[in-house]
Amino acid sequence: MQLGMLTACLPQWSLDRIAAWAKQAGYEALEVAVWPSTGGRDFEAAHLPVADFGPRQVDETKALFEEHGLELSAFAYYENNLHPDPARREEIRTHLKHAIDAAQALGVPHVGTFVGRDWTKSVSENLAEAERIFPELVEYAGERDVKIIVENCVMEGWHPDGYPGNLAYSPELWEWMFGLGLYLNWDPSHLTWIGIDPVDTIAPYVDRIVHAQAKDVELDPAARQRYGFFGKVDKGGNPWDMGWWRYRVPGLGQVDWARVVDRLYEHGFTGTLSVEHEDPVWGGDDERITQGLEIAHRTLRPLIVG
């Protein structure tokens, strides 16, 4: 196992600057954000131009990672592959294929995305649609020795009523998507707030957990007493404000990282544990973001052998 970080929390930094900082901070790998541009929502970044990735970009990227002694563990392009707008869905599909092509060129084993959801249709209709579109993407990736990994984020902000906007949030849905040839970028923070013990999900699914994200979550039971599990009705214009929980960097929430890392080791996980920084306390400017990443590193580094 190695300790990495997702680059999306520093969208204004170049990949070169992030790599230099990550190396001196003690990180071993980068999960590189490859959106085509930034600004669509928080926590996305365009750190490699995968849509225009020729031999020069391949050589420069390989040289950058060799210079800093880092591994490129995965590409991150977390978008809604079931978007209700056909034109937008096709844009996402096309860019996901660009990411897969660039991953092949660099020998990157994983490209991350979401299943997503068409919020105008029922869950059963969405599952049927995913069964129609994902096999072709999985085959495309497989031909290039790349695995498509899906993060189990609920993405409740994508749904107008705050319901799950990414149909990959529970073990029941994991088993369904594994049947489509997809793999899991496992994140315990999302499981924790929906009432699932993340540690108990490792052993049954470790053969499909090929990459993992380290994000924590802080729960507020008193606020839940007011809003209920489904969160605020009036979100004040912020669809992500559930009112009774918030993301934190590892060590500042409810996730038991000693148990998580121990169980990953017990069941043979040898991939990257990648810090995903979405902590509002340690955010807002570059200094606080990097301080948050340092807190995460201090929490996790002692638990990882080597």
- What CATH number is given to the structural domain containing 178? 3.20.20.150
| Chain center to CA of 272 | 12
Q: What is the pLDDT along the chain (306 residues), one digit of tens a residue?
A: 999 999 999 999 999 999 999 999 999 999 999 999 866 667 789 999 999 999 999 999 999 999 999 999 999 999 999 999 999 999 999 999 999 999 999 999 999 999 999 999 999 999 999 999 999 999 999 999 999 999 999 999 999 999 999 999 999 999 999 999 999 999 999 999 999 999 999 999 999 999 999 999 999 999 999 999 999 999 999 999 999 999 999 999 999 999 999 999 999 999 999 999 999 999 999 999 999 999 999 999 999 997
Q: What's the Cα-to-Cα distance from 306 to each of 1, 2, 193, 301, rounded to whole Å? A: 9, 8, 31, 9
What tokens appear for 70 in the block? 């880092």
The residue assigned the tokens 């960097």 is 249
- Strand-pair partners of 203: none
**Residue 275: half-sphere exposure toward Cβ, Cα within 13 Å:** 31
pTM of structure: 0.97
Q: How many domains does the chain have?
A: 1
Cα 292 to Cα 287: distance, rounded to the nearest angstrom: 9
What tokens appear for 207 in the block? 């053969």
Number of CB atoms found within 10 A of residue 51's CB: 15
Range of the domain at 93: 2-303
pLDDT for the residue 41: 63
What tokens appear for 254 in the block? 């409810």
DSSP 201-245: GHHHHTTTEEEEEE-EEEE-HHHHHHH-TT--S--TT-TT--SSE
Amino acid at 47: H
Cα 16 to Cα 57: distance, rounded to the nearest angstrom: 13
Q: Please name which of 298, 195, 291, 198 lies closest in space to residue 245, comparing C-alpha atoms.
A: 195
Cβ atoms of residues 265 and 212 within 8 Å: no
Cβ atoms of residues 131 and 77 within 8 Å: no
Cβ atoms of residues 250 and 257 within 8 Å: yes
**Residue 139: half-sphere exposure toward Cβ, Cα within 13 Å:** 6
> Helix (H, G, I), strand (E, B), or coil: what is residue 151?
strand
Altogether, the residues listed in the chain come to a count of 306
